[in-house]
Amino acid sequence: MTQFTCDGCGACCRTFPIFASADDAEREPRIAREGRELATHLRTADWRFQLYPLPFRETCGFLDSENRCEIYDSRPDVCRRFEAGSPQCQEARRRGGFGELEKSESVFSS
Ligand code: SF4
Ligand code: SF4
């Protein structure tokens, strides 16, 4: 099975719009404090707070200077679902000027 290992480039936290749900904000209070709450007509089950892009921010505000997520253990579901090596990962890396993430290993099961 082909696997990819995230190399922590941080491109996915600075490329695509990032939204968090009300459930995400309940789990992590900083989301409501530091994100932008969407106007009522723009809200969906998954979209309640916008984390990126925001004015004066070049990345999601939770990305620290070493490209680590400050709220990793309670990050939004959309971030949990994001897969290293996925087409979205590779596109973020391309836009950020990073090389393509390469397969890290092959695991064969009997
Ligand atoms: S873009 Fe891909 S490799 Fe870079 S931090 Fe995100 S998941 Fe990891
Ligand atoms: S919450 Fe964390 S993982 Fe999600 S975009 Fe922001 S820095 Fe990245």
pTM: 0.91
CA 28 to chain centre: 15
For the segment 3-38, what is each residue's pLDDT rounded down to a tens digit?
999 999 999 999 999 999 999 999 999 999 999 999
Instruction: Name residue 64's amino acid.
Output: D
Strand order of the β-sheet with 36-37 is 18-20, 49-52, 36-37
User: Is the minimum distance from the CB of 63 to ligand 2 under 6 angstroms?
Assistant: yes
Contact, 62 vs 70, CB < 8 A? yes
Q: Is 51 near ligand 2, meaning CB less than 6 Å away?
A: yes
Distance 57 CA to ligand 1 centre (A): 19
**Which residue's CA lies nearest to atom 3 of ligand 1?**
6
10: closest CA among 87, 88, 92?
92
Does residue 9 have its Cβ closer than 6 Å to ligand 2? no
Residue 84 CA: which ligand is closest?
1
CA distance 40 to 48: 9
In tens, the pLDDT along 53-109 reads 999 999 999 999 999 999 999 999 999 999 999 999 999 999 999 999 999 866 554
State the closest ligand 1 atom to the C-alpha of 85, by its place in the atom list counted from 1: 2
**Strand, coil or helix: what is 23?**
helix
Domain boundaries, given as residue ranges, for the chain: 10-95
